[in-house]
Structure 1
Amino acid sequence: MQRPKYFAPAEVAAHNTPDDLWVSYLGTVHDLTPLVEEFRGDVLLKPIIEHAGKDISHWFDPKTKDILTHVDPLTGCRKYYTPRGRFVHVPPPWPCTDWTNDFGRPWWRDNRYQVGLLSAKARWIRIINTLTSQEQRLEVCSEETLDEILQRYCRYNSHAASYTWKHGGVVLDMSKTLHENGVQDDEENLCKVATDGDLFCPAMLLYYNDDLTEC
């Protein structure tokens, strides 16, 4: 079974326009661009567009995975709580004839929009090519294996798979995460002692294997 793809918050934030709109919520990442295209021009898109590239977990009840609800003090009826305004697939607070509910699943329950999972912790590493002495800082997800990190690095070196990856003189297991390979994330401890984490960013050393395998 294929592993889900993980995204760092910064990657989600890069998709922040109506023509390329991602959001994250409850640990998942969703591409709502098709939804925006379908309802283009509809005023009910406004709250969604305002939160393009952001995390909207605060819109949801983590237990039900549904939009938060509250009891209307005037009617005593339970309805969706949308302080930033009603949005697509949220029913109006009163009966009306100009709203249809035959759209199937609301977008927040529709897995078609989900593109991956939001990383619980993104971290920075340095990748140093010992053959060329080139160094690249790369933000990765703590849940990713080294093989998945290699795929991120391929944009900078299309022959990244032609190298043996090492840290601290030890060959890394590409099927395991950084943590599982003993590459600890000391960011929290460094913050406690007011030390710049950039100065202690862990380095992965790449040693050429004398082949030209491409990613």
Structure 2
Amino acid sequence: MQRPKYFTPKEVSEHNTLEDLWVSFLGKVCDLSPLATQYKGDVLIRPIVECAGKDISHWFCPRTKDIRTHVDQLTCCVKYFTPRGRFVHIPPPCPRTDWANDFETPWWRDRRYEVGLLSSKTRWIRIVNTLTAQKQILEVCSEETLDEILLRYLKYNSHAASYTWKFEGFNLDMSRTLGDNGIISEHEDEDEELYSSHVDQDLFIPSICLYFNDDLTEF
């Protein structure tokens, strides 16, 4: 089976317009741009647009994977919990004849919108090109293999596949993750705090060294 693509929260946050609208929820990343285009000008798309680029897991019940519900105190009826207002594919609170319910699958269950998974933890690494002495610091997903991290690095070096990737002198298994290769930060639990503080990040970011193989492989 094809591995899913992982995204960092920062990558999701960059898709925050009506024309380019991503959200994440319950570990999934969805591109709702087609939905936003379809309902452009409709008040029901507004709550989703307001959360473009954000995680909306709090909208959902982790157990049912459906929109949270609550019991209305006045009617004692079960209703969807929509603090930002009713949105696309949520039925009206009372029966109406003008509500089209022919969409079959609500957008949060429609796999056509899924583009990948949200990383449960991101990491920072430094990639050092020993041939040119160039250094690049990247935020990557802890679930990604080195081959997938290589694809992220291609925009800085299109010949990245022509190098042997090493950590502390040992060749890395490109089909495995950083953790599987033994690249574990000594301050793993403190990473986020360190990156947001004024502490010198260079002291805590592991360095991966690239050694040229005399082979100009290019993606």
Class of the TM-score when normalised by the shorter of the 2 chains = over 0.9
TM-score normalised to the size of structure 1? 0.96
The residue number in structure 1 matching 2:207 is: 203
In the alignment, structure 1 residue 214 sits paired with structure 2 residue 214: no
Paired with 1:202 and 1:50, the residues of 2 have a C-alpha distance of: 37
* 1:168 maps to 2:190: no
Q: Secondary structure at the match of 1:184?
A: coil
Superposed displacement of residue 189, structure 1: 4.6
Structure 1 runs of 4+ with >6 Å offset = none
Q: Note the C-alpha offset of 1:199.
A: 2.6
SS at match of 2:166: strand
* Map 1:8-23 → 2, pairs under 5 A: 8-23=8-23
Figure out how many residues of one structure are paired with residues of the other and give that number.
Answer: 214
CA-based RMSD:
1.3
Please list every run of 5 or more consecutive structure 2 residues that lacks an aligned counterpart in the other structure: none
Secondary structure, counterpart of 1:180 in structure 2:
coil
Alpha-carbon deviations, 1:2-50, whole Å to 9, x = none? 1000000000000011110000000000000000001110000111000
The DSSP-based 3-state class of the residue aligned with 1:116 is strand
**Which position in structure 1 is the counterpart of 2:41?**
41
- Name the amino acid aligned to 2:5: K
Q: How far has the Cα of 1:197 moved from its partner?
A: 3.7
Q: Note the C-alpha offset of 1:75.
A: 1.1
Q: Counterparts of 1:124-203 in structure 2 under 5 Å?
A: 124-185=124-185, 186-189=187-190, 196-203=200-207
Please tell me the residue identity of whatever aligns with 2:175: S
- Aligned position for 2:108: 108
| Residue pairs, 1:91-106, within 5 angstroms | 91-106=91-106
Which residue in the other structure is 1:61 paired with? Answer: 61
2:7 matches 1:3: no
